[in-house]
Amino acid sequence: MKDTGQFFTTGEFAKACGVSKQTIIYYDKIGLLQPDFIERNRYRYYSVHQLERFAVIDLLKRLDTPLKEIKQFLNEKELDEAVRLLEEKEQVVFRKMEELRELQRIIHTKRSLIQEAGQVVEEVFLEEMEEECLIISEPITATSEKEISEQIQQFAQYFVHNERDAGYPMSRFFSKAQFEEGDYLTGGHFYIRVEEPKTTNSVTKEAGLYACTYHVGEYNAVTEAYERIKQWMTEEQYTVVGPVYEQYMLDEIISSNTEQYVTKMMVRVMKKEQ
């Protein structure tokens, strides 16, 4: 009879492993992790060395490896096979880390936009902006609501299949000429901001000084906000020097009430020479 004082009972071993006793019993039943020895009274005992075997089982299980494959891996004890499997799992971990980092970026972006949307004041202000990379749609030629929806869907599908989402919503920009003519609601391009483009279908939103304001409510009523910017530019002696960008910050994704939609308008400007 062995000195059982140097071994774990099933319950003690389960506790040392941080799992339930039923888990250890099940692993024994399927031949994945069997006791070091069994006494005549049928009591099962595990050695301290088997903690390492459990650690390997737990690691591979956390990497979604089927128990059948884990058992085969542990029983074969082939060095080449061990290296192959661990390399494979290392790549799985790397891809998961990349996915989690991407999700973290998306969550951070959306949280920042929602927080900004909750603090808007409908007045004009200047903001120094950094350069941004924008993936753009084909020119917006649609006029009816149905046609515009179809073009939005086409652009969204293109983006999903070709670019990496950074959490920024689809928005729109249009030309300096349209702004000066008061044509705020038609034409231009849809765009989605990205951190690193994967395709060549992109443009750069230039860094610089932008006159900004917010519009709260339905998009079709944005004219008032643009006129507010124009009036401010006249009073403060600024002139427009580039395209006009919109950023849809709070829409039906967050609120079903169109009166709570938030759009940010950004017009690149410079001070007029005195």
- Residue 251 pLDDT greater than 80, yes or no: no
Closest alpha carbon to 205 in 108, 110, 129, 106 = 129
Tell me how far the alpha carbon of residue 220 is from its chain's centroid: 29
**Which tens digit of pLDDT belongs to each residue from 64-98?**
889 998 888 888 767 777 788 888 889 988 998 99
Mean pLDDT of 174-195: 93
Would you kindly state where each structural domain of the chain is located, as residue ranges?
A: 4-77, 111-271
| Domain 4-77 CATH (choose: 1.10.1660.10, 3.40.50.720, 1.10.3210.10, 3.30.470.20) | 1.10.1660.10
> If we measure between CA atoms, which residue out of 13, 87, 20, 76 comes closest to residue 49?
13
Which DSSP letter does residue 260 get? G
- Contact 176/243 with Cβ under 8 angstroms? yes
Q: Please provide the CATH number assigned to the domain covering 111-271.
A: 3.20.80.10
Q: What is the mean pLDDT of residues 135-162?
A: 89
Given a cut of 90, whether residue 219 has pLDDT beyond it is: no
- Give CB contacts under 8 A, 24+ apart, made by 87-96: 89/60, 89/63, 89/65, 92/63, 92/64, 93/63
Cα–Cα dist 160/126, whole Å: 33
pTM score: 0.70
Q: Please give the average per-residue pLDDT across 131-146, as a whole number.
A: 90
Q: Calculate the average pLDDT of the chain.
A: 88
- Decide if pLDDT at 10 tops 70: yes
Q: Is the pLDDT of residue 254 over 80?
A: no
CA separation (Å) from 237 to 8, 129, 240, 273?
A: 83, 20, 10, 9
Confidence at residue 75, expressed as pLDDT on a 0 to 100 scale: 81
Which residues on adjacent β-strands are paired with residue 270? 239
